[in-house]
Structure 1
Amino acid sequence: MRNHHMLRQQHTRLGVTAAIAGILLVATGCANGSGAPGAVAEAPDTSATEANGRVAISYEGGISVLDGKTLETVKKFDSEEFTRLNAAGDGKHVFVTTTAGFQLLDMAEAKLTDLVVDATAPGHVVRHAGNTVLFDDGTGTTTIFKSEELSNLNGALPETRTYTADADHHGVSIVLEDGTLLTTLGDKTSRPGAVALEAHEDHWDPIAESKECPGIHGEGTAADEAVVFGCEDGALLYHQGKFEKFTAPDKYGRMGNAFVSETSPIVVGDYKNDPDAEGYLLNSVALIDTEKHSYNVVELPDTVNYTFRDVARGPGDLAYILSTDGSIHVLDPKDGKIVNEFPVIKAWEGPTEWQDAHPAIMVNGNTAYVTEPAANTVHAVDLTTGKITTSKKMDVVPNEIAITVGAH
């Protein structure tokens, strides 16, 4: 089956096929480059390089593209009241999740394009091994782009591969270097685990499956392509063709997000052990060593509280946690110890709803970009020194943040 996303205007419907699983594109390999497809002899797309380091900020009713060095506003666009931002794997684009679907923001040209991948409930975007993978919670459809083909659109979205789950659910998918599709299992009432699928011309064959991960959520890929999903009672590892369950020390020990470095075997996960706790602040992290097959929970100092937006991996494969005390606390995943603290913003309180604007951190190389909604400000922080290199006050309240850092 063949599927080709055509150009359409932002507020019209494109009929993305949400049918049975199928392969839709002649493979072009999993190169991580940002140039044109390998079958076409063209010069590399330098506009992707120009986009590297730019910062996208969403706010109520719009999106701003900022210069990564000066934090000056390059361009502003009107959008919806609340949008989510996810970088594509080509180092040039950001997918903006709207009520219409996944809309492409060109960071190099600073242009909110009319190209939209239809989705009834656009969810996770995953970049890995030369693929950018979208998941539509409303249909259970996974849409797979070759990332390099996103960098040269010429007015239309490239062809894709798709897979549709047995039922719609809040899920996530990733394509590995060998073409294996890892995707979550679930329906409207439960999400029990994940399945690994091998691609064929007209179907997908299951390689492995696990239903030992209740409430599966989030995904992260560590060194040696060890993939970890969060569960309500621990975590689920997929590595070298097999699933392995890690059990949390608490009866309820939910990990919802995995913060990873592809050069480190250790995954840092957010951790919650009280299902009845109000709010979104957390005070512990899960440390999963995919080489040693160990799972440990580390309770952070009382002053270190964070949300899902406040953890990032950076220099030295360390974890950088933006806490409610206004500091970035540097955690060594090898032993769970805090090794440094960088004061950045004023103290803040956790959000009432997860969509509410609250501080967030994103990392590009040695630079962390930190939002401070209470001050309408974005900061750039040198993580090697802890010094704020640039701060820029905006005329809007920053909410979501995404950065373009190069091809994946």
Structure 2
Amino acid sequence: MRSSAFAAALLPLVLLASACGGGDGSGDNAGGTDEAATADWKPRKAAHGAVKPRLLVSDAGSGRVDVIDVASGKSAGTLKTKGAARLHPTDPSGTRVFAVQGDDDTVQLIDAGIRSKAHGDHEDAAHIDPSVVDGAIDVPAPSHVVAHGDHAAVFADGDAGITMVHLGEGAPKDLAAEGDPVRGGDAHHGVAVPIGDELIASLGDGKGPDNDRRVGAQVIGADGKQTKAFKDCPDLHGEFSPDDDTVLFGCLDGVLKLHRHDGSWEAEKIDGPTKGGEEEKTGTIVGQQGATRVLGDYSEDTVVVIDTEKDTSTPVEVPGGVATVAWDPYWEQGLVLTKDGVLHAIDPEKAEVVAKVQATEKFRTESEDGSRAVVAAAENFAYVLNPTTKEVVEVAVDRKGLEAGRSMAFDYAPRDLAIVGLAPLETGAADEHENDHEGENKEGDKEGNEEEHDHEH
């Protein structure tokens, strides 16, 4: 891993006064080429033939989802889902995004229109209008959708039902459940991870406030029956699977690690830095495939680097009030946005902050209109959603640090943010395009600078 140095200076932002365009949102695909932002989102030229990533922004007050061409800032189309959606990409290098609508008891699938076509010995971008895929998963209060391998698991909080969706080769064109839902026990706010023929899922006991107490995790076999239960993770929330044999869950008192050894699942507890409690607990875990160190939230001013080999949890102080955490797989680092608008980069090997920048203004973590703080990582950029100002800010990422740049404001309360069409990590495509992929160089660097793009894949 190559670490970033501290940014030399914090750059001020110029907030946009105009709203985001892109159609009236009345149909499945309103299309259109209206600009999504003013000149503050300066167009950036992409390399010839390069895939152009698209940014999806959902409205907290309706089923509107804007799809934006990142390079130009123009609308690629405005879509309409049944209700306000949380956005879960099936694969950042792909084109499909789950639109999870917990208040409307449904999950839909968006095709962002990322396409390519053969051109000699390579492929060029050939994007089409985005659309809402036919079909839906209708279940009571769907919450988390986790994609792993060729499948995704949709968890329904209303009845703890787990619905499988096939995503791999041979998957149906329309969104459809693969078989009947599997019952995960008593209803609770939960999550499930598909691992081969098994499901690693949260476990509730039907007690506590609103009968929503989570006590641990369980293994569900191919026959839909529980094969093992591990009741040592109070208030379970947040999951991450770094490989096919490990699943991590956040707990009130640390992190529960389930590991498969000789075909059998075993559990170990990774204690938090302190005894834990309502003010000091892990509820979100982020990382990348193959990683042995991942990042979790912990307290108001602290996150933790979790070492899955040594089973340790190292605190990292992040003053400003932790709002949300994310992972940047291209630069192999954690990203922490604090409520004072500062974005921090954390080196998991050193367990320390290695860069930070004033990305946006101070904000409330979640606004009254349903907007929330979000960070989405791309290849050379991170995108920060400020729920108070209703703006998205682009932050450039390179080995020199972080630098705030373009921004766009919306005339509605953004609920969620996602980006797709990125270079797949396993192919090294980001290195091939260097800074010209998404692209695209940082503003003012139109010639391309190999030294600005030194990812390790």
Q: State the TM-score bracket (shorter-chain normalisation).
A: 0.7 to 0.9
Is the counterpart of residue 368 in structure 1 residue 382 in structure 2? yes
How far apart are the structure 2 equivalents of 1:329 and 1:167?
39
How far apart are the structure 1 equivalents of 2:239 and 2:212?
20
Q: Alignment identity in percent?
A: 25
Listed one character per residue, the Cα deviations across residues 85-132 of structure 1 (whole Å, up to 9, x for unaligned) are 222248222221220310122211411244210011011011112221
Matched with 1:3 is none
How far apart are the structure 2 equivalents of 1:238 and 1:214?
15
**Alignment match of 2:198 (pick from 172, 180, 185):** 180
How far apart are the structure 1 equivalents of 2:159 and 2:247?
24
**Alignment match of 2:248 (pick from 202, 216, 228):** 228
Listed one character per residue, the Cα deviations across residues 333-373 of structure 1 (whole Å, up to 9, x for unaligned) are 233211111232222233356x7324321012232122234
Cα separation, partners in 2 of 1:84 and 1:93, compared to 1, 3 Å = same
SS at match of 2:331: helix
**Alignment match of 2:68 (pick from 48, 55, 66):** 66
Q: Is the 8 A contact 1:86 1:94 kept in 2?
A: yes
Is the counterpart of residue 82 in structure 1 residue 84 in structure 2? yes
Cα separation, partners in 2 of 1:120 and 1:56, compared to 1, 3 Å = same
Matched with 1:283 is 301
**Alignment match of 1:258 (pick from 275, 285, 293):** 285
Listed one character per residue, the Cα deviations across residues 279-325 of structure 1 (whole Å, up to 9, x for unaligned) are xxx3111221001111233332x3x32223x4333433211112223
SS at match of 2:168: helix
SS at match of 2:88: strand
Is the counterpart of residue 197 in structure 1 residue 197 in structure 2? no
Cα separation, partners in 2 of 1:50 and 1:356, compared to 1, 3 Å = farther
Given residue 97 of structure 1, which amino acid in structure 2 is its aligned partner? V
Cα separation, partners in 2 of 1:50 and 1:112, compared to 1, 3 Å = farther
Cα separation, partners in 2 of 1:254 and 1:156, compared to 1, 3 Å = closer
**Alignment match of 2:316 (pick from 264, 283, 298):** 298
TM superposition shift of 1:381: 2.3
How far apart are the structure 1 equivalents of 2:344 and 2:336?
5
Given residue 222 of structure 2, which amino acid in structure 1 is its aligned partner? A
Matched with 2:178 is 159
Matched with 2:402 is 386
SS at match of 2:84: coil
Given residue 56 of structure 1, which amino acid in structure 2 is its aligned partner? L
- Per the normalisation by structure 1, the TM-score is 0.75
Q: Is the 8 A contact 1:65 1:74 kept in 2?
A: yes
Q: Is the 8 A contact 1:175 1:181 kept in 2?
A: yes
How far apart are the structure 2 equivalents of 1:230 and 1:405?
30
Cα separation, partners in 2 of 1:263 and 1:380, compared to 1, 3 Å = farther
Cα separation, partners in 2 of 1:103 and 1:228, compared to 1, 3 Å = same
TM superposition shift of 1:79: 4.6
Query: After the TM superposition, which residues 91-102 of structure 1 pair with which residues of structure 2 at under 5 Å, given as runs?
Result: 91-98=94-101, 99-102=104-107
SS at match of 1:215: coil
Q: Is the 8 A contact 1:71 1:391 kept in 2?
A: no
TM superposition shift of 1:152: 5.3
SS at match of 2:250: strand
Structure 1: where are the runs of 5+ without partners? 1-9, 11-48, 273-281
Cα separation, partners in 2 of 1:365 and 1:204, compared to 1, 3 Å = farther
SS at match of 2:365: coil
How far apart are the structure 2 equivalents of 1:247 and 1:171?
21
Q: Is the 8 A contact 1:215 1:232 kept in 2?
A: yes
Given residue 95 of structure 1, which amino acid in structure 2 is its aligned partner? F
Is the counterpart of residue 325 in structure 1 residue 340 in structure 2? yes
Matched with 1:245 is 269
Cα separation, partners in 2 of 1:345 and 1:143, compared to 1, 3 Å = same
Q: Is the 8 A contact 2:327 2:377 kept in 1?
A: yes
Cα separation, partners in 2 of 1:299 and 1:195, compared to 1, 3 Å = same
Q: Is the 8 A contact 1:53 1:67 kept in 2?
A: yes
How far apart are the structure 1 equivalents of 2:251 and 2:156?
20
How far apart are the structure 1 equivalents of 2:421 and 2:414?
20
How far apart are the structure 1 equivalents of 2:96 and 2:171?
8
TM superposition shift of 1:141: 1.0
Q: Is the 8 A contact 1:223 1:265 kept in 2?
A: no
Matched with 2:18 is none
How far apart are the structure 1 equivalents of 2:364 and 2:165?
38
Given residue 414 of structure 2, which amino acid in structure 1 is its aligned partner? P
Q: Is the 8 A contact 2:323 2:339 kept in 1?
A: no
Matched with 1:34 is none
TM superposition shift of 1:223: 5.1
- Per the normalisation by structure 2, the TM-score is 0.68
Q: Is the 8 A contact 2:363 2:387 kept in 1?
A: no
Larger radius of gyration: 2
Q: CA RMSD in A?
A: 2.9
TM superposition shift of 1:238: 0.9
Q: Is the 8 A contact 1:236 1:246 kept in 2?
A: yes
Cα separation, partners in 2 of 1:405 and 1:217, compared to 1, 3 Å = farther
Between the two proteins, the alignment pairs up a number of residues equal to 343
**Alignment match of 1:168 (pick from 187, 204, 212):** 187
How far apart are the structure 2 equivalents of 1:286 and 1:87?
25
Q: Is the 8 A contact 1:225 1:262 kept in 2?
A: no
Is the counterpart of residue 127 in structure 1 residue 127 in structure 2? no
**Alignment match of 1:218 (pick from 234, 238, 261):** 238
Matched with 1:41 is none
Listed one character per residue, the Cα deviations across residues 54-82 of structure 1 (whole Å, up to 9, x for unaligned) are 22111222221111322322112345663
Q: Is the 8 A contact 2:156 2:162 kept in 1?
A: yes
Given residue 215 of structure 2, which amino acid in structure 1 is its aligned partner? P
Given residue 361 of structure 1, which amino acid in structure 2 is its aligned partner? V
Structure 2: where are the runs of 5+ without partners? 1-26, 28-48, 114-128, 426-457
